Each structure stands twice: as structure tokens, then as C-alpha cells.
Structure 1
Amino acid sequence: MQKDKGMPLWVFLALSSIETRKGALILIWSSLLFSAYCIPWVNYFENNGWIKNLFLIDDWEWFSMMLPMTLWYWLSMKWVDKNRGWGLASNIREDQPG
């Protein structure tokens, strides 16, 4: 994504390598999925051995980092939706001589 004058730095940093809204949605959904993985499930299902082997996280540190990051990605996508649009990135590439 190209940074223009009106784009805040926090939006550019979140979506600098994302060119489409679909790519932003994939980033957000994968962040949500990893956030769910980061819940310390081991603390709630202590009797199941396969949960201990599958879910290695036993504290809330990763979840507490992933949730704000996912919110940041979502807010950045909403900013682009409202203020710039996703077509601008592809229009800039088409206008530049190759």
C-alpha cells in the first residue's frame, strides 16, 4: 500500500504490505484465530492430555498482545474503507510506467 499525505502513520504501519481489502480481511481473521489459540485452554481442561499437547500457552500474555493488534488491524481497514478506498493502490500501480 502506498502512503499518501492524508493517511495516518498507524494505518500505514498496519497495512503497509496489504494491497486489497480481501488481504486485510485475511489478516484480521487469521489474527482472530491466533488470538483464540492464545487463550490458555490448558488451565481450563487440565485432565485432557491432547489439549496440553496442542495448546502450549498457559498464561494470558500472548492473548493480551494479540487482541489489541487485531483491533488495530480492523480499525486500520475501516479507516481505509472510509477515507481512501482500496482501489487507489491498484490505480497508482497502473498509472506508473512499467
Structure 2
Amino acid sequence: MQKDSNMPLWVFLALSSIESRRGALILIWSSFLFTIYCIPWAILYENPWINKLFLIDDWEWFAMMVPMTLWYWLSMKWVDKNRGWNLNGNTEKNSTD
């Protein structure tokens, strides 16, 4: 994503390598799913199967992933409202044609 003069730095940092809204949605959904995985399920349920599948045993990762996911979502919403997405992914190529 190209940084415009009116684009805030926090939006650019969140979506600098994302070129499409679909890519941003994949990033957000992946972050959301990892946030759910980061819940310390081993503490909440005393099941040996859960203890082997879910290795995180504290709230640190969850506490970090919630604001990151929110940041990505807010950045996508800012681009939706203020700039829009480049549909073909390459503005420089089209400007020379």
C-alpha cells in the first residue's frame, strides 16, 4: 500500500504490505483466530487433550493479540472510509499507461 499525505502513520504501519481489502480481511480473520487460540484453554479446562493441543498457559499472548486485531480492523475501516482500495494492486503501472 502506498502512503498518501493524508494517511495516518498507524494505518500505514498496519497495512503497509496489504494491497487489497481481501488481503486485509484475511489478516484480520487470521489475527482473530490466533487470538481465540491464545486464550489459555489449558487453565480453563483440566483435560489432557486440551493441554496437548493448546500450549499457551497464561494471558500474555491474548492480551497482546486483542489490541493488534483491533488495530488491523480500525486501519481497514479507515482505508474504507477515507481512501478506498486499489482494485488492481498497482497504481504506478496504470499511471504510465
Q: TM-score, normalised by structure 2?
A: 0.92
Give ranges in structure 1 of 5+ residues lacking alignment.
Answer: none
Give the percent of matched residue pairs that are identical in Structure 1 and Structure 2.
73
Structural mapping, 1:20-31, within 5 Å: 20-31=20-31
1:94 deviation in Å? 3.0
Which residue of structure 2 lines up, in the alignment, with residue 10 of structure 1? 10
The 3 A distance-change label for structure 1 pair 18 and 9 is same
Q: Secondary structure at the match of 1:87?
A: coil
Structure 1 residue 84 displacement after superposition? 0.2
Report the alpha carbon displacement of residue 66 of structure 1 after superposing the two structures with TM: 0.1
Q: Which amino acid aligns with 1:65?
A: M
Q: 1:2·1:89 contact (CA, 8 Å) conserved in 2? A: no
**Could you tell me which residue of structure 1 aligns to residue 34 of structure 2?**
34
After superposition, the C-alpha distances for 1:17-60 in whole angstroms (9 at most, x for unaligned) are 000000000000000000000000001111x1111111011110
Q: CA RMSD in A?
A: 1.8
Partner of 1:84: 83
Structure 1 Cα separation of the partners of residues 88 and 75 of structure 2: 15
State the TM-score, normalizing by the size of structure 1: 0.91
Long gaps (5+) in structure 2? none
User: Conserved in 1, the CA contact under 8 Å of 2:20 and 2:87?
Assistant: no
